[in-house]
Amino acid sequence: MKPAWRRLLGALLIAATVWWLGRLIADNWAQLRGYDWRVDPALLAASVVAHVAVLGWGVWVWSRILRHFDHPPVRLGMLQRIWWLSNLARYVPGKVFQFIAVAQLSRGAGLSGAVMLTSMLVHTGMALLSAAVVAAWTLAGDVLPGIDPRWLMAVATIGAALAVHPAFLNHLLALIPRLLKKEVIRWNAGWMDGLGLLGLSVVSWMFYGVAYHLFVASLADVPWTLLPQMAGVNAFSFFIGYASVLPGGMGLREFAMAELLQPYLPAGVAAVLAIASRLWTIAAELIGGSAAALLVRGGPAVDAAAPVDVAEAPVPRQP
């Protein structure tokens, strides 16, 4: 899609979402005024801290993925700096530029931009797959009551497991040289390694669910028994937002979150929380990015003490 058409489509989608959320709030204004809001500063602060910690944990998962490429292990602090700073590019001008920023920051640190970018793409793919799995296991019965949730659980789980098979991943990675004009970058992990990393991504979404539940509970009365459902709402709204063409998933993520929250909260309250969650996310990303920029400076980019977890056989190269 040409940049002008993409910008126009993005503006229209954002405008439509803003209109829909505003209409939902206006239609439920009396309900919102009568709702028993409970602003708990301690819970809100704890949710932001937990959010930053979960995003940092995600960078550690990325480091585990990177070790299965033909590249020396990268120091975790350097990875944190690259991820947090590049993540800010999701908003201006869009998430595609996050990956460009990853490559540029990596090259600036003396690392292979192509390998770092490829590992980041695999990490993002596993995050999306695991988000779908978490949503299927936690939301299927509530969001799609007419469908047997066991079928959705099975399809999402089996599909994600097949997607991390090395034959499938390397088939996808073979497409990258056409874009980067580089040699083939291979995924040197076995299927069990991929399943283990997918499991770590699922754990990431459960941790993220705890942070999201703390955020919702700091503003509305949500019992801890709904923690699995809150994790699913957060994961699937991220999935929907990331699949959109909008910068940072703006608009569609909030739309999806407001819809997914309605089985558990009044419609107007769900819309307000969906909008507030964007501010909550931006706050966590700004805090984490500022900390990474200030605290992670100097030092070698490569972790010379860490073992290289790649296949011993020579990596075939495509002519």
pLDDT in tens, 206-217: 999 999 999 999
Neighbouring residues of 117: CB distance < 8 A, sequence distance ≥ 6: 99, 102, 103, 106, 180
Torsion sign over Cα 154, 253, 86, 297: negative
Q: pLDDT for 281-305, tens place per residue?
A: 999 988 988 888 777 655 545 554 4
Per-residue model confidence (pLDDT) at position 289: 85
Domains of the chain, residue spans = 38-295
Per-residue model confidence (pLDDT) at position 298: 53
What CA–CA distance (Å, rounded) separates 268 from 274?
A: 10
User: Average pLDDT of 22-31?
Assistant: 83
Q: Percentage of residues in the chain with pLDDT exceeding 70?
A: 81
Per-residue model confidence (pLDDT) at position 249: 56
Burial 258-268 (b: 16+ CB within 10 A, else e): bbbbbebbbbb
User: Average pLDDT of 77-91?
Assistant: 81
Please identify which residue in the block is written with the tokens 């069990």. 192
Between 292 and 5, the higher pLDDT residue: 292
- Rounded to two decimals, the pTM is 0.84
Per-residue model confidence (pLDDT) at position 317: 39
- Between 49-58, 116-125, 178-187, 248-257, the lowest mean confidence (pLDDT) is in 178-187
Give 181's pLDDT tier (boundaries 50, 70, 90).
low
Give 24's pLDDT tier (boundaries 50, 70, 90).
confident
What CA–CA distance (Å, rounded) separates 157 from 133?
A: 6
Q: Is the pLDDT of residue 92 over 60?
A: no
* Residues pairing with 74 in the sheet: 302
Apex 114 CA angle, 10 and 286, nearest 5:
50
Q: pLDDT for 220-238, tens place per residue?
A: 989 999 999 999 999 999 9
What CA–CA distance (Å, rounded) separates 297 from 77?
A: 9
**Encoded amino acid at 132, one letter:** A
Between 6 and 220, the higher pLDDT residue: 220
Rg (CA), the chain: 20
